[in-house]
Amino acid sequence: MSPTILLVEDEVELVRVLRDYLERAGFHVQTASSGPEAVSRFQHGPPDLLLLDLNLPGMDGLDVARVIRRESNVPIIMVTARVEETDRLVGLELGADDYVVKPFSPKELVARVRAVLRRASQAPQPAAVLRAGDAVVDLARHTVDISHRRVDLTPSEFDLLVVLVREPGRVFSRLQLLEATQGTAYRGYERTIDAHVKNLRAKIEPDPRHPRYVQTVFGVGYRFSDE
């Protein structure tokens, strides 16, 4: 069955172009032209991925993301003309899996959609249960338990935790984490990792301000502590 993409965009011509490219790539496409319509469509039947513009009538795309993240970990790719670093980081901190700045190539966007969906549904390795300290990560079931407490993560947060838990104590640079979680085809934006780490800490740490598990090694990167 073809994955369903909810395309949230109020530029009519761009919707036409993107819908054509996505459907030719084998996706089923639903559309919404405002923030409230996007939330309504999502609640009536969650898609497999959300392509979300930030500049929307009725409700800003960031507010749409906030509402959806309270209900679901569905992959989100934000699409926007905003180029400021703060906008990008706010979007990622809200749980976006990727961020595409206009103007962009529709072919590139389709490739990003495929990459995010592939990460979200990646087939696990056999006997795929990772343990480090109080963390238990089941790759087959795509579940995470910290101190016997189930934690719901987005695909990007889950991939990041898997990389860290596989080698507890090892320090990974931001670029290493970006390449391990998003692939070498998209080197991307290293500060993306900081946003995902912040979100991950908010979900797994007893006190995110003083991380016990995902620790910062200043000037280098991050490591998972199993002590």
- Give residue-wise pLDDT tens across range 156-182: 889 899 999 988 999 999 888 887 777
Mean pLDDT of the chain: 86
Give one DSSP letter per residue of 170-223, joined into a string.
Answer: --EEHHHHHHHHH-TT----THHHHHHHHHHHHHH-SSTTS-SSEEEETTTEEE
Q: Are 151 and 202 in the same domain? A: yes
Q: Are 104 and 196 in the same domain? A: no
Q: Are 112 and 157 in the same domain? A: no
Range of the structural domain that residue 167 is part of: 129-224
- CATH number, residue 116: 3.40.50.2300
Closest CA to 193 of 206, 171, 212, 176: 176
Q: Indicate the residue among 120, 147, 164 that finishes a domain.
A: 120
Between the alpha carbon of residue 72 and those of residues 14, 19, 43, 195, 225, the distances in Å are: 27, 24, 10, 18, 28
Q: Are 140 and 102 in the same domain? A: no
The model's pLDDT over 3-30, given as tens digits with 9 standing for 90+, comes to 999 999 999 999 999 999 999 999 999 9
- CATH number, residue 135: 1.10.10.10
Cβ(115)–Cβ(159) below 8 Å: no
Q: Are 135 and 115 in the same domain? A: no
| Model confidence band, residue 83 (pLDDT cutoffs 50, 70, 90) | low
Q: Are 172 and 108 in the same domain? A: no
| pLDDT at site 154 | 86
Cα-Cα-Cα-Cα torsion 177, 115, 112, 98, nearest 10 degrees, comes to -40
Q: Indicate the residue among 67, 93, 120 that finishes a domain.
A: 120
Q: Are 144 and 213 in the same domain? A: yes
pTM for the full predicted model = 0.63
pLDDT at 109 over 60: yes
Q: Are 86 and 104 in the same domain? A: yes
Query: Which residues, in sequence order, are CB contacts of 133 under 8 Å at separation 6+?
Result: 168, 213, 224, 225, 226, 227
Q: Are 220 and 176 in the same domain? A: yes
Q: Indicate the residue among 103, 120, 137 that finishes a domain.
A: 120
Q: For the chain, how many structural domains are there in total?
A: 2
Q: Are 100 and 169 in the same domain? A: no
Q: Are 49 and 144 in the same domain? A: no
| Model confidence band, residue 113 (pLDDT cutoffs 50, 70, 90) | very high
Q: Are 104 and 151 in the same domain? A: no
